Amino acid sequence: MDSDIEADEPLTIALLATPEATASTLYGMYDLFGSAGRDWGLLIHGQMGRPLLRPLIVSQSGEGFRAPNGAWIQPDSRLDACPPLTAACIPDLFIAPDERLTGRYDAEIAWLRSLHARGTLLAAACTGAMLLAEAGMLAGQEATTHWAYCDALARRYPEVQVLPHRILVASGEGQRLIMAGGGTSWFDLTLFLVARLLGTDEAMRLARVHLIDWHREGQQPYAVLNCSRQVEDACIARCQVWLAQHYDCHSPVAGMVEVSRLSERAFKRRFKAATGMTPMDYVHTLRLEEAKQLLEQGDEPIEAIAEQLGYADPSFFRRLFGRRVGLTPSQYRRRFRGLRLRLS
């Protein structure tokens, strides 16, 4: 809906505070929702406007607690005393990727299920999507979460179609399940919800007030291509160590086979079982992570970097980098070398 909604009372949006809630996301979303309709008039006309949204922090007990970073979180309401809602949001959870959620959030999951059954819009920032998956709401649906948690989400909930490179995904009946990727993508999630509830014009005003820029490239350029998985197979671990020092050689897979003292067939089978990747995929992943560092830190030509990494064909390197990273090497350098220079 593109026109602003006129209403006597602001729409209420709950922000679910769990013991693992990240305070910056929780209160950041609280501030942005509270700003809708209120702050534009103050900046442009010198008079505060009428708030269009009422953010409400809710928790199981309603009692204050310390967030994992030590910040104090004071909920406004218990779950069972929560007023009627237009939407409910789950900020990210400060948990490890493979941390089990079973039995930890029974009350919160029951509350989310009851809201969903009543047609309430549900949204999750970053790792908050893990809670929707644990509640069984994402079965057969598309989903996203922080890039570092996508593999864990897919392994733990195989019925969920995980889209690791997407910043924003809307799923389910009526697209009432909305998820954002990692980090500051909660900005995108909040703007999307404001646009959906109040109209595009209000979301644009909010973006201008707070200088918010949409993550156009998704989260793929920010992701670390994961090749650091610890393995229990000592033989394969030894090959990983060797490759870290020789990834630029002409035949790295053949080199690992030699180090393993296995037949090529047995090595490839054991490597895939231990790492979840084929040996060549692992080589490419290691090389591309090194390419990112070289692109961020120096001005060497792309051709020289490709050769340094062991790619004789620069055009193949460019295509591979673009497919796996989501930006061309030149685009990646412009985006992240500039950031590194400004920070240093």
Q: Are strands 77-78 and 87-90 parallel, antiparallel or unpaired?
A: unpaired
Helix-, strand-, coil-residue percentages of the chain, each rounded to 5: 50, 10, 35
Domains held by the chain: number: 2
DSSP character at residue 199:
-
Residue that finishes a domain, picked among 222, 257, 272: 222
Angstrom distance (rounded) from CA 61 to CA 19: 11
Does residue 229 form part of some domain? no
Residue that finishes a domain, picked among 199, 222, 245: 222
What is the distance of C-alpha 202 from the center of its chain?
A: 25
- The CA distances from residue 108 to 18, 22, 316, in Å, are 8, 16, 49
With 0.85 as the threshold, say if the pTM is over it: no
- With a cut of 50, which residues of the chain have pLDDT below it? 1-7
In this structure, the answer to whether residues 34 and 143 fall within a common structural domain is yes
What is the structure's pLDDT at 33?
96
Does residue 120 form part of some domain? yes
Does residue 6 form part of some domain? no
In this structure, the answer to whether residues 44 and 82 fall within a common structural domain is yes
CATH classification of the domain holding 38:
3.40.50.880
In this structure, the answer to whether residues 88 and 195 fall within a common structural domain is yes
What is the structure's pLDDT at 5?
43
In this structure, the answer to whether residues 170 and 306 fall within a common structural domain is no
The secondary structure of 3-39 as a DSSP string is SPPP-SSPEEEEEE--TTB-HHHHHHHHHHHHHTTTH
Let me know the angle formed at the C-alpha of 219 by 217 and 221, rounded to the nearest 5 degrees.
70
What is the structure's pLDDT at 198?
93
What is the structure's pLDDT at 4?
42
In this structure, the answer to whether residues 96 and 142 fall within a common structural domain is yes
CATH classification of the domain holding 259:
1.10.10.60
What is the structure's pLDDT at 225?
60
Q: Which domain holds residue 239?
A: 234-343
In this structure, the answer to whether residues 121 and 150 fall within a common structural domain is yes
- The CA distances from residue 44 to 34, 39, 62, 206, 343, in Å, are 17, 9, 37, 13, 33
User: Over 52-114, what HEC string results?
Assistant: CEEEEEEECCCCCEECCCCCEECCCEEHHHCCCCCEEEECCECCCCCCCCCCCCHHHHHHHHH
In this structure, the answer to whether residues 183 and 321 fall within a common structural domain is no
In this structure, the answer to whether residues 19 and 128 fall within a common structural domain is yes
Does residue 171 form part of some domain? yes
In this structure, the answer to whether residues 187 and 249 fall within a common structural domain is no
Does residue 334 form part of some domain? yes
What is the structure's pLDDT at 3?
40
Residue that finishes a domain, picked among 222, 252, 285: 222
What is the structure's pLDDT at 336?
81
In this structure, the answer to whether residues 46 and 175 fall within a common structural domain is yes
Does residue 2 form part of some domain? no
